[in-house]
Structure 1
Amino acid sequence: MNGFSALVLAGSRGPDDPVAASEGLAAKALVTVGSVPMLVRVVRALRAAGAIRVAVAASDPQVVALARELGCSLVPAASGPSESAARGFAELGAPMLLTTADHALLQPQWIDDFRRAVAPGADVSVLLARRDVVEAAVPHTRRTWLRFADGQWSGCNLFHFATPRAADAFALWQSVERDRKRPWRIVWRLGPWLLLRYAVGRLSLRQAMAQLGRRAGLAVEAVASPHGLAAVDVDKPEDLALARQIVDGPPAA
């Protein structure tokens, strides 16, 4: 496959970030897993997968300095991830792969498999993993599950913006971002008939994503990941403990 551009969202929530606060650091991107800052782990995985240009959306001075050390270009972080992503897309253009600095377990193989699975006509592709796949990899993880007719799903913090038209996806993302913990509100945007299908368990994730995209004039698809660990990011201190255990192995008896 050809090389690609990638954007890493590494904005800081400051003292409100529970992971950074638990480690006494200014930003979550600086927290280490396997003795390596999470931002470094993510950038290395992207480059190993063939990224020819990596940009980092950041505002914290230490994160900005680290991104420069890594040879990444910089995008000023906005107040929310969707706006930061829009700024990055304006800088990098299509095609662009998007991920986050807290995707500490990110592997080049996951990126390769995702890019190979992207449909040729898709403007935007979103990687998700089914609950059974995630729990087979990490049986006791606690995640937010999106419940649809074809299973329960968790996001994998990997997005592919394939065409210039994908710029229209960021306004859609902002609305989804506000309601990500309330899937029924997302489905409501699709109209009462599809909301009814969702309520009775007849709406699949792929149907919902496709219709949501059509409302924005885009071809949007959900891609199923075979890698359960791809759904593990570091949002909470317990996620950090899990990521470290996966990388370092369980403590010696």
Structure 2
Amino acid sequence: MMPAAVVLAGSRGGTDPVAQHAGVSDKALIELGSETMLARVLRALRDAGVADVAVAANGPAVAEEAQRHGARMLPAAAGPSASTAEALAALGAPLLVTTGDHALLRPEWVRSFVADVPAGTDVAVLLARQESVERAAPGSRRTYLRFADGHWSGCNLFLLATPQAEAAVRLWQAVERDRKRPWRIVGRLGPGLLLRYLMGRLSLSEAIAALGRRAGVVATVVECRDGLAAVDVDKPSDLDFVRDHLGKTAART
């Protein structure tokens, strides 16, 4: 049985450059073909077998779109980590977390991710290697985490597998508060692991496991072999890439 899921579709306030580029009020309402980006995400989750889906949003038009597609609504908090904390409190664990701008989300990624999470995990994160991303999404510019075992990009898909994952969300909130002070984020690894990282000897799985231990949870990395899963819509060029990709896919079918 698939866990419940929450789609983070809140606004940080101000003008979103992607929404402005597309001429809509909220990024999640950008139309891709015959449906909105949010509708595509909700459909992918449903097709993966997720029966209970909530959307965390603060825009009335987004709320209307979510409810039109059978999702329950949760008010968005001040940032994605706070919204995730409130969703975990409301829906319980296990809980899948993704975003409203994960426009190319596929049901098979969701099913494989859940199936590949090791037993005993409290929180898991899906990531893809740079070579997989560049092979599947040439021309898409992503941000990579550089570790001894390769360069990795996040896939906007997380599993809060147990109630203990709440501690990891609290750590996420602290990291979010320190996002303009990166030395404090890196410092959470501790001096030994930090030195290994600076020497290029720390793997991603070791770093994630260490951060998990700092929070008192078992945290694991799951590799997604389809690098397309790392594509989300953070900037206008991402939207252009997604539209071009969907157009080419439709032309082949």
**TM-score higher than 0.5 here?**
yes
Count, aligned residues: 251
Letter matched to residue 157 of structure 2: L
Name the residue aligned to 1:81.
Answer: 80
- Percent identical pairs in the alignment equals 59
In the TM superposition, what is the alpha-carbon distance from 1:222 to its structure 2 partner?
Answer: 1.0
Name the residue aligned to 1:131.
Answer: 130
Name the residue aligned to 1:110.
Answer: 109
Equivalent runs, 1:62-77 vs 2, <5 Å? 62-77=61-76
Gaps of 5+ in 1: none
Aligned equivalents of 1:137, 1:52: Cα separation in 2: 29
Name the residue aligned to 2:175.
Answer: 176
Does 1:44 find its partner at 2:26?
Answer: no
Aligned equivalents of 1:101, 1:167: Cα separation in 2: 22
CA RMSD after TM alignment: 1.8
Letter matched to residue 173 of structure 1: W
Say which SS state the counterpart of residue 164 (structure 2) adopts: helix
Aligned equivalents of 1:227, 1:15: Cα separation in 2: 34
Aligned equivalents of 1:23, 1:139: Cα separation in 2: 23
Give the direction of change, closer, same or farther, for the CA distance of 1:181–1:207 in structure 2 (3 Å limit).
farther
Equivalent runs, 1:89-238 vs 2, <5 Å? 89-178=88-177, 185-238=184-237
Is the contact made by 1:206 and 1:221 (CA closer than 8 Å) also made in structure 2?
A: yes
Is the contact made by 1:187 and 1:198 (CA closer than 8 Å) also made in structure 2?
A: no
Superposed structure 1 runs of 4+ greater than 4 Å apart = 178-185
TM-score (norm 1): 0.94
Say which SS state the counterpart of residue 154 (structure 1) adopts: strand
Letter matched to residue 49 of structure 2: G
Give the direction of change, closer, same or farther, for the CA distance of 1:192–1:12 in structure 2 (3 Å limit).
same
TM-score (norm 2): 0.94
Does 1:21 find its partner at 2:17?
Answer: no
Gaps of 5+ in 2: none
Is the contact made by 1:29 and 1:102 (CA closer than 8 Å) also made in structure 2?
A: yes
Is the contact made by 2:132 and 2:226 (CA closer than 8 Å) also made in structure 1?
A: yes
Say which SS state the counterpart of residue 221 (structure 1) adopts: strand
Letter matched to residue 201 of structure 1: G
Give the direction of change, closer, same or farther, for the CA distance of 1:249–1:182 in structure 2 (3 Å limit).
farther
Aligned equivalents of 2:13, 2:82: Cα separation in 1: 18
Aligned equivalents of 1:176, 1:144: Cα separation in 2: 17
Say which SS state the counterpart of residue 127 (structure 1) adopts: strand
Aligned equivalents of 2:14, 2:177: Cα separation in 1: 22
Is the contact made by 1:166 and 1:218 (CA closer than 8 Å) also made in structure 2?
A: yes
Say which SS state the counterpart of residue 240 (structure 1) adopts: helix
